[in-house]
């Protein structure tokens, strides 16, 4: 019986943790991680402040847990679908499409979670800064890795610099996110898609064959 009661408490704690982090990710994407507090979250969700404190212990740990939870969402919505696509230009295409869909569909109400918190913590120090910075490095490394796979598969020209191209593609995607979040203008997604297609076609080992992987010119994720 004691084990059953313990298991029940553990499961309730997990459910509460998921509930809290769902809310903190939404808040942070709009107001930043500084907008989080144990008292605020407890009040908004109708939970006891002591109960939320027992799960996280401090505002900093709440912030760190929120970053980790957002990383898991990002991986599921952007990285995982790309990983299920065969290596090559099709995988690069799917990765970029995944990011643009993630931002445009407002998985988080403020757009890309990491674009928001990176700006907030870019000039700071400490554990939260390090966690956010690590996620950004991981993202660019992943984009570069997918591009390098396409190069090694012979679908991109041998001289293509994977890290340079990753920087460019990420810049296009993040600019679209910023334009939408800041100005309410979604035309940036189509512009980003056009720029990504042009850049990938320019680097393709066989531009004509690349059409099958990249889709028709001018067709972005909203229309495909």
In this predicted structure, what is the pLDDT of residue 14? 86
The Cα–Cα gap between 196 and 191 comes to: 9
Q: Which residue has the tokens 């995607």?
A: 173
- With H, G, I as helix, E, B as strand and everything else as coil, classify residue 108: coil
Yes or no: say if 143 and 170 are a contact pair by the CB < 8 Å rule.
Answer: yes
Answering whether pTM is above 0.85, one says yes
In this predicted structure, what is the pLDDT of residue 10? 76
CA 192 to the chain's CA centroid: 16
Yes or no: say if 115 and 177 are a contact pair by the CB < 8 Å rule.
Answer: yes
CA quadruple 116, 117, 119, 120: dihedral sign = positive
In this predicted structure, what is the pLDDT of residue 219? 43
Which top CATH class is 59-214? mainly alpha
**pLDDT tens, residue order, the chain (224 aa):** 555 556 777 788 789 999 999 999 999 999 999 999 999 999 999 999 999 999 999 999 999 999 999 999 999 999 999 999 999 999 999 999 999 999 999 999 999 999 999 999 988 999 999 999 999 999 999 999 999 999 999 999 999 999 999 999 999 999 999 999 999 999 999 999 999 999 999 999 988 777 766 765 444 554 44
In this predicted structure, what is the pLDDT of residue 193? 94
In this predicted structure, what is the pLDDT of residue 215? 62
The Cα–Cα gap between 30 and 12 comes to: 28
Yes or no: say if 33 and 128 are a contact pair by the CB < 8 Å rule.
Answer: yes
């Amino acid at each position: 019986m004691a084990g059953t009661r313990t298991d029940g408490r553990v499961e309730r704690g997990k459910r509460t943790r998921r509930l809290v982090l769902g809310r903190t990710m939404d808040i942070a994407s709009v107001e930043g991680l500084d907008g989080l507090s144990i008292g605020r979250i407890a009040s908004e969700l109708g939970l006891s402040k002591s109960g939320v404190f027992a799960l996280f212990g401090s505002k900093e740990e709440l912030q760190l847990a929120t970053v980790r939870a957002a990383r898991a969402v990002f991986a599921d919505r952007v990285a995982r679908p790309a990983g299920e696509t065969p290596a090559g230009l099709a995988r690069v295409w799917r990765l970029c499409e995944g990011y643009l869909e993630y931002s445009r569909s407002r998985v988080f109400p403020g757009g890309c979670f990491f674009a928001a918190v990176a700006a907030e913590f870019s000039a700071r120090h400490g554990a939260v800064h390090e966690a956010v910075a690590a996620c950004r490095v991981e993202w660019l490394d992943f984009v570069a890795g997918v591009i390098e796979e396409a190069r090694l598969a012979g679908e991109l020209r041998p001289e293509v610099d994977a890290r340079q191209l990753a920087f460019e593609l990420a810049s296009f995607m993040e600019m679209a996110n910023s334009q939408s979040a800041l100005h309410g203008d979604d035309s940036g997604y189509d512009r980003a898609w056009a720029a990504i297609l042009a850049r990938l076609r320019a680097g393709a080992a066989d531009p004509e064959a690349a059409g099958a992987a990249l889709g028709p010119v001018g067709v972005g994720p909203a229309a495909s």
